[in-house]
Protein backbone atom coordinates (compact mmCIF):
# COMPACT_ATOMS: atom_id res chain seq x y z
CA UNK A 1 0.00 0.00 0.00
CA UNK A 2 1.36 3.43 -0.92
CA UNK A 3 2.30 5.92 1.76
CA UNK A 4 -0.52 8.24 0.69
CA UNK A 5 -3.19 5.56 0.80
CA UNK A 6 -1.92 4.34 4.17
CA UNK A 7 -2.12 7.86 5.57
CA UNK A 8 -5.68 8.22 4.32
CA UNK A 9 -6.61 4.81 5.70
CA UNK A 10 -5.80 5.92 9.24
CA UNK A 11 -7.35 9.34 8.47
CA UNK A 12 -4.24 11.34 9.28
CA UNK A 13 -4.67 14.67 7.54
CA UNK A 14 -2.15 17.34 6.70
CA UNK A 15 -3.02 20.81 7.96
CA UNK A 16 -1.33 23.55 5.87
CA UNK A 17 0.46 26.55 7.32
CA UNK A 18 -1.63 29.69 7.54
CA UNK A 19 -0.90 32.72 5.38
CA UNK A 20 1.02 35.73 6.68
CA UNK A 21 1.46 39.23 5.30
CA UNK A 22 4.16 39.22 2.63
CA UNK A 23 3.55 35.60 1.59
CA UNK A 24 3.37 34.73 -2.10
CA UNK A 25 0.14 33.30 -3.51
CA UNK A 26 0.35 31.29 -6.73
CA UNK A 27 -2.55 31.88 -9.15
CA UNK A 28 -3.52 29.20 -11.66
CA UNK A 29 -6.35 28.51 -14.09
CA UNK A 30 -7.37 24.90 -13.60
CA UNK A 31 -10.25 24.94 -16.06
CA UNK A 32 -11.59 27.53 -18.49
CA UNK A 33 -9.53 30.45 -19.79
CA UNK A 34 -9.90 33.93 -18.33
CA UNK A 35 -11.73 35.54 -21.26
CA UNK A 36 -10.59 38.98 -22.36
CA UNK A 37 -13.80 40.57 -21.11
CA UNK A 38 -12.96 39.15 -17.67
CA UNK A 39 -9.43 40.57 -17.55
CA UNK A 40 -10.57 43.71 -15.63
CA UNK A 41 -12.05 41.43 -12.96
CA UNK A 42 -8.84 39.40 -12.98
CA UNK A 43 -6.78 42.55 -12.39
CA UNK A 44 -9.13 43.71 -9.63
CA UNK A 45 -8.78 40.33 -7.93
CA UNK A 46 -4.98 40.63 -8.02
CA UNK A 47 -5.27 44.15 -6.61
CA UNK A 48 -7.37 42.91 -3.69
CA UNK A 49 -4.74 40.32 -2.76
CA UNK A 50 -1.80 42.72 -3.10
CA UNK A 51 -3.77 45.34 -1.17
CA UNK A 52 -4.02 42.85 1.69
CA UNK A 53 -0.24 42.59 1.73
CA UNK A 54 0.34 39.45 -0.33
CA UNK A 55 2.56 38.91 -3.34
CA UNK A 56 1.08 37.18 -6.39
CA UNK A 57 2.80 34.87 -8.88
CA UNK A 58 0.92 33.81 -12.01
CA UNK A 59 1.22 30.32 -13.40
CA UNK A 60 2.52 30.06 -16.97
CA UNK A 61 -0.93 29.08 -18.23
CA UNK A 62 -2.99 31.30 -15.93
CA UNK A 63 -3.94 33.61 -18.80
CA UNK A 64 -3.51 31.17 -21.66
CA UNK A 65 -6.37 30.44 -24.05
CA UNK A 66 -6.50 27.11 -25.86
CA UNK A 67 -9.95 26.59 -27.35
CA UNK A 68 -12.20 26.14 -24.29
CA UNK A 69 -9.48 25.63 -21.66
CA UNK A 70 -6.55 27.57 -20.21
CA UNK A 71 -3.99 25.42 -21.97
CA UNK A 72 -3.77 21.66 -22.35
CA UNK A 73 -4.42 19.38 -19.36
CA UNK A 74 -0.68 18.82 -19.01
CA UNK A 75 0.11 22.54 -19.11
CA UNK A 76 -2.48 23.31 -16.45
CA UNK A 77 -1.37 20.39 -14.27
CA UNK A 78 2.28 21.43 -14.59
CA UNK A 79 1.32 24.91 -13.36
CA UNK A 80 -0.16 23.38 -10.21
CA UNK A 81 2.68 20.93 -9.66
CA UNK A 82 5.25 23.71 -10.06
CA UNK A 83 3.43 25.85 -7.50
CA UNK A 84 3.73 23.05 -4.94
CA UNK A 85 7.37 22.45 -5.84
CA UNK A 86 8.32 26.09 -5.20
CA UNK A 87 9.01 26.62 -1.46
CA UNK A 88 8.41 30.36 -1.69
CA UNK A 89 4.77 29.92 -2.69
CA UNK A 90 2.51 29.49 0.33
CA UNK A 91 -0.92 29.06 -1.31
CA UNK A 92 -2.48 28.14 -4.65
CA UNK A 93 -5.62 30.02 -5.77
CA UNK A 94 -7.81 29.33 -8.79
CA UNK A 95 -8.83 32.15 -11.13
CA UNK A 96 -12.36 31.45 -12.31
CA UNK A 97 -13.46 27.81 -12.41
CA UNK A 98 -15.34 26.84 -15.57
CA UNK A 99 -15.12 23.38 -17.14
CA UNK A 100 -12.58 20.59 -17.82
CA UNK A 101 -10.87 20.62 -14.41
CA UNK A 102 -11.30 16.86 -14.10
CA UNK A 103 -8.87 16.33 -17.00
CA UNK A 104 -6.02 17.38 -14.68
CA UNK A 105 -6.61 14.82 -11.96
CA UNK A 106 -4.45 11.94 -13.29
CA UNK A 107 -1.64 14.42 -14.02
CA UNK A 108 -1.24 15.96 -10.57
CA UNK A 109 1.77 14.82 -8.52
CA UNK A 110 0.03 13.92 -5.26
CA UNK A 111 3.25 12.75 -3.59
CA UNK A 112 4.84 16.11 -4.39
CA UNK A 113 1.78 17.88 -3.01
CA UNK A 114 1.92 15.85 0.19
CA UNK A 115 5.62 16.64 0.65
CA UNK A 116 4.95 20.36 0.16
CA UNK A 117 1.51 21.05 1.66
CA UNK A 118 0.03 24.50 1.29
CA UNK A 119 -3.35 26.20 1.14
CA UNK A 120 -5.45 25.41 -1.96
CA UNK A 121 -8.50 27.65 -2.57
CA UNK A 122 -11.27 27.84 -5.17
CA UNK A 123 -14.83 26.86 -6.00
CA UNK A 124 -17.17 25.68 -8.77
CA UNK A 125 -15.28 23.43 -11.22
CA UNK A 126 -12.32 23.55 -8.83
CA UNK A 127 -14.39 21.07 -6.79
CA UNK A 128 -12.66 18.33 -8.78
CA UNK A 129 -9.21 19.38 -7.59
CA UNK A 130 -10.17 20.22 -4.01
CA UNK A 131 -11.57 16.75 -3.42
CA UNK A 132 -8.90 14.87 -5.38
CA UNK A 133 -6.03 16.61 -3.58
CA UNK A 134 -7.72 16.02 -0.24
CA UNK A 135 -8.22 12.31 -0.95
CA UNK A 136 -4.99 11.49 -2.74
CA UNK A 137 -2.58 13.70 -0.78
CA UNK A 138 -4.37 13.75 2.57
CA UNK A 139 -4.33 17.57 2.62
CA UNK A 140 -7.12 19.78 3.94
CA UNK A 141 -8.20 21.99 1.03
CA UNK A 142 -10.53 25.00 0.95
CA UNK A 143 -13.74 25.76 -0.91
CA UNK A 144 -13.99 29.54 -1.02
CA UNK A 145 -13.62 32.78 -2.98
CA UNK A 146 -11.81 32.64 -6.31
CA UNK A 147 -9.93 35.45 -7.98
CA UNK A 148 -12.22 36.58 -10.81
CA UNK A 149 -15.79 36.04 -9.65
CA UNK A 150 -15.29 36.84 -5.97
CA UNK A 151 -12.28 39.06 -5.25
CA UNK A 152 -12.54 40.55 -8.74
CA UNK A 153 -16.11 41.78 -8.50
CA UNK A 154 -16.61 45.50 -9.13
CA UNK A 155 -17.54 45.63 -5.44
CA UNK A 156 -16.11 42.53 -3.72
CA UNK A 157 -18.23 41.23 -0.89
CA UNK A 158 -16.79 42.40 2.42
CA UNK A 159 -17.83 38.98 3.72
CA UNK A 160 -15.51 37.20 1.25
CA UNK A 161 -12.45 39.19 2.28
CA UNK A 162 -13.31 38.92 5.99
CA UNK A 163 -13.85 35.15 5.86
CA UNK A 164 -10.66 34.66 3.83
CA UNK A 165 -8.62 36.56 6.41
CA UNK A 166 -10.36 34.98 9.40
CA UNK A 167 -9.99 31.40 8.21
CA UNK A 168 -6.66 31.38 6.37
CA UNK A 169 -4.67 34.16 8.06
CA UNK A 170 -6.09 34.43 11.59
CA UNK A 171 -6.90 30.69 11.91
CA UNK A 172 -10.35 31.41 13.31
CA UNK A 173 -12.87 28.60 13.62
CA UNK A 174 -16.22 28.28 15.39
CA UNK A 175 -19.65 29.29 14.09
CA UNK A 176 -19.87 30.10 10.39
CA UNK A 177 -21.02 33.70 10.22
CA UNK A 178 -24.45 34.34 8.70
CA UNK A 179 -25.11 36.92 6.01
CA UNK A 180 -28.61 35.63 5.27
CA UNK A 181 -31.60 33.95 6.87
CA UNK A 182 -30.93 30.23 7.25
CA UNK A 183 -33.63 27.59 6.95
CA UNK A 184 -34.16 24.29 8.77
CA UNK A 185 -35.08 21.82 6.02
CA UNK A 186 -34.88 18.70 8.19
CA UNK A 187 -34.22 19.00 11.91
CA UNK A 188 -31.39 17.19 13.64
CA UNK A 189 -27.78 17.35 14.74
CA UNK A 190 -24.64 15.91 13.18
CA UNK A 191 -20.87 15.95 13.45
CA UNK A 192 -18.46 14.94 10.71
CA UNK A 193 -15.82 15.96 8.22
CA UNK A 194 -16.84 18.49 5.58
CA UNK A 195 -16.87 17.07 2.04
CA UNK A 196 -18.56 18.39 -1.08
CA UNK A 197 -18.69 21.31 -3.49
CA UNK A 198 -20.43 21.73 -6.83
CA UNK A 199 -23.20 19.14 -7.32
CA UNK A 200 -22.58 18.73 -11.04
CA UNK A 201 -18.87 18.07 -10.49
CA UNK A 202 -19.65 15.51 -7.82
CA UNK A 203 -22.04 13.74 -10.20
CA UNK A 204 -19.43 13.72 -12.99
CA UNK A 205 -16.91 12.18 -10.57
CA UNK A 206 -19.14 9.18 -9.87
CA UNK A 207 -17.49 5.93 -10.91
CA UNK A 208 -13.99 7.43 -11.03
CA UNK A 209 -11.14 7.08 -8.51
CA UNK A 210 -11.72 10.73 -7.62
CA UNK A 211 -15.24 10.49 -6.22
CA UNK A 212 -15.12 11.68 -2.60
CA UNK A 213 -15.53 9.40 0.38
CA UNK A 214 -18.64 10.61 2.17
CA UNK A 215 -18.35 8.22 5.12
CA UNK A 216 -19.35 10.03 8.34
CA UNK A 217 -19.33 13.35 6.50
CA UNK A 218 -21.26 16.58 6.53
CA UNK A 219 -21.88 17.10 2.82
CA UNK A 220 -22.01 20.67 1.52
CA UNK A 221 -23.37 21.29 -1.98
CA UNK A 222 -24.04 24.16 -4.37
CA UNK A 223 -24.66 24.58 -8.09
CA UNK A 224 -24.79 27.41 -10.63
CA UNK A 225 -27.55 26.74 -13.17
CA UNK A 226 -29.43 23.52 -12.32
CA UNK A 227 -33.12 22.87 -12.84
CA UNK A 228 -35.14 21.05 -10.18
CA UNK A 229 -35.18 18.02 -12.48
CA UNK A 230 -31.38 17.96 -12.75
CA UNK A 231 -31.13 18.23 -8.97
CA UNK A 232 -33.46 15.23 -8.70
CA UNK A 233 -31.32 13.25 -11.17
CA UNK A 234 -28.09 13.96 -9.32
CA UNK A 235 -29.54 13.25 -5.88
CA UNK A 236 -31.17 10.06 -7.12
CA UNK A 237 -27.82 8.97 -8.57
CA UNK A 238 -26.16 9.56 -5.20
CA UNK A 239 -28.93 7.68 -3.44
CA UNK A 240 -28.47 4.71 -5.76
CA UNK A 241 -24.72 4.82 -5.11
CA UNK A 242 -25.30 4.62 -1.35
CA UNK A 243 -23.93 8.10 -0.65
CA UNK A 244 -26.84 9.05 1.60
CA UNK A 245 -26.27 5.91 3.65
CA UNK A 246 -22.91 7.42 4.63
CA UNK A 247 -23.52 11.12 5.25
CA UNK A 248 -24.44 12.48 8.67
CA UNK A 249 -25.90 15.76 7.46
CA UNK A 250 -26.16 18.08 4.42
CA UNK A 251 -25.72 21.84 4.01
CA UNK A 252 -27.15 23.38 0.82
CA UNK A 253 -25.60 26.63 -0.39
CA UNK A 254 -26.79 29.34 -2.77
CA UNK A 255 -28.28 27.99 -6.02
CA UNK A 256 -28.12 30.81 -8.55
CA UNK A 257 -30.61 29.62 -11.19
CA UNK A 258 -33.28 28.65 -8.66
CA UNK A 259 -32.94 31.59 -6.27
CA UNK A 260 -32.36 34.47 -8.68
CA UNK A 261 -34.94 33.67 -11.35
CA UNK A 262 -37.70 35.75 -9.79
CA UNK A 263 -40.20 32.95 -10.36
CA UNK A 264 -41.54 30.66 -7.70
CA UNK A 265 -40.18 27.13 -8.12
CA UNK A 266 -39.08 24.22 -6.02
CA UNK A 267 -35.62 24.73 -4.53
CA UNK A 268 -32.67 22.33 -4.39
CA UNK A 269 -33.10 21.69 -0.67
CA UNK A 270 -36.74 20.72 -1.21
CA UNK A 271 -35.76 18.29 -3.96
CA UNK A 272 -33.16 16.79 -1.62
CA UNK A 273 -35.76 16.44 1.12
CA UNK A 274 -38.09 14.66 -1.31
CA UNK A 275 -35.46 12.28 -2.72
CA UNK A 276 -34.19 11.40 0.79
CA UNK A 277 -37.60 11.15 2.46
CA UNK A 278 -36.65 7.72 3.81
CA UNK A 279 -33.60 9.15 5.64
CA UNK A 280 -33.41 11.25 8.78
CA UNK A 281 -30.11 13.14 8.48
CA UNK A 282 -30.38 16.90 9.11
CA UNK A 283 -30.48 19.37 6.23
CA UNK A 284 -29.66 23.07 6.61
CA UNK A 285 -30.14 25.70 3.90
CA UNK A 286 -27.70 28.66 3.85
CA UNK A 287 -26.61 31.26 1.28
CA UNK A 288 -22.96 31.75 2.26
CA UNK A 289 -21.29 29.67 -0.46
CA UNK A 290 -21.88 29.19 -4.16
CA UNK A 291 -22.04 31.34 -7.31
CA UNK A 292 -22.79 35.08 -7.30
CA UNK A 293 -23.12 35.21 -3.53
CA UNK A 294 -20.92 35.77 -0.47
CA UNK A 295 -18.55 32.87 0.17
CA UNK A 296 -17.24 31.62 3.46
CA UNK A 297 -14.11 29.43 3.46
CA UNK A 298 -14.95 25.75 3.98
CA UNK A 299 -12.16 23.30 4.92
CA UNK A 300 -12.63 20.05 3.00
CA UNK A 301 -11.65 17.37 5.49
CA UNK A 302 -12.14 19.70 8.44
CA UNK A 303 -14.36 18.59 11.33
CA UNK A 304 -17.65 20.44 11.75
CA UNK A 305 -20.91 20.22 13.64
CA UNK A 306 -24.39 20.96 12.38
CA UNK A 307 -27.57 21.74 14.30
CA UNK A 308 -30.26 22.28 11.68
CA UNK A 309 -32.97 23.06 14.23
CA UNK A 310 -30.92 25.82 15.84
CA UNK A 311 -29.56 26.88 12.43
CA UNK A 312 -25.99 26.47 13.59
CA UNK A 313 -22.95 25.36 11.58
CA UNK A 314 -19.65 25.26 13.39
CA UNK A 315 -16.10 24.43 12.30
CA UNK A 316 -14.60 22.56 15.22
CA UNK A 317 -10.89 21.93 14.55
CA UNK A 318 -8.17 24.29 13.36
CA UNK A 319 -7.70 23.90 9.60
CA UNK A 320 -4.48 25.91 9.27
CA UNK A 321 -1.51 26.08 11.59
CA UNK A 322 0.87 28.83 12.62
CA UNK A 323 3.77 26.39 12.53
CA UNK A 324 5.04 23.97 9.90
CA UNK A 325 2.29 21.82 8.31
CA UNK A 326 1.16 19.15 10.77
CA UNK A 327 -0.49 15.75 10.70
CA UNK A 328 -3.76 15.18 12.50
CA UNK A 329 -5.47 11.87 13.15
Q: Where are the domains of the chain?
A: 3-174, 176-315
Sign of CA dihedral 45, 46, 47, 52: positive
CATH of domain 3-174: 3.40.50.10740
pTM over 0.85, yes/no: yes
| pLDDT for the residue 328 | 73
* CATH number of this structure's domain 176-315: 3.50.30.60
Distances 191 to 62, 135, 141, 150, 172 between C-alpha atoms, Å: 38, 20, 19, 29, 19
3-174 and 176-315 share one fold: no
17: DSSP letter = B
pLDDT tens for each residue of 272-315:
999 999 999 999 999 999 999 999 999 999 999 999 999 999 99
Cβ atoms of 70 and 33 closer than 8 Å: yes
Of the chain, the percentage scoring pLDDT greater than 90 comes to 92
Residue spans of beta strands (DSSP E) within 77-182 = 89-94, 119-122, 141-143, 174-175
* Alpha helix stretches (DSSP H) within 86-227: 110-115, 127-137, 158-168, 199-205
101, 130 Cβ separation under 8 angstroms? no
Beta-carbon contacts of 25 under 8 Å, excluding residues fewer than 6 positions away, are: 19, 49, 54, 55, 56, 57, 89, 90, 91, 92, 93
Tens digits of residue pLDDT in 33-58: 999 999 999 999 999 999 999 999 99
Amino acid sequence: MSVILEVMRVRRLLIPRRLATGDTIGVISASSPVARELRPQFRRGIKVLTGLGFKVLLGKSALKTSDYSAGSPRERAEDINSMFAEPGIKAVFDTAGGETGNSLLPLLDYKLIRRNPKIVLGLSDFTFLLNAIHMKAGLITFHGPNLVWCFGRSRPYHYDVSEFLDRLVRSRIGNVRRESEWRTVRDGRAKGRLVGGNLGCLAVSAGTPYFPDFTDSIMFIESFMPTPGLCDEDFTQMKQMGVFDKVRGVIVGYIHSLQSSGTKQIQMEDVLLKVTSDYDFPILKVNEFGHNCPNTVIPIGGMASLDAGEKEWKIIDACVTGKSPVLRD
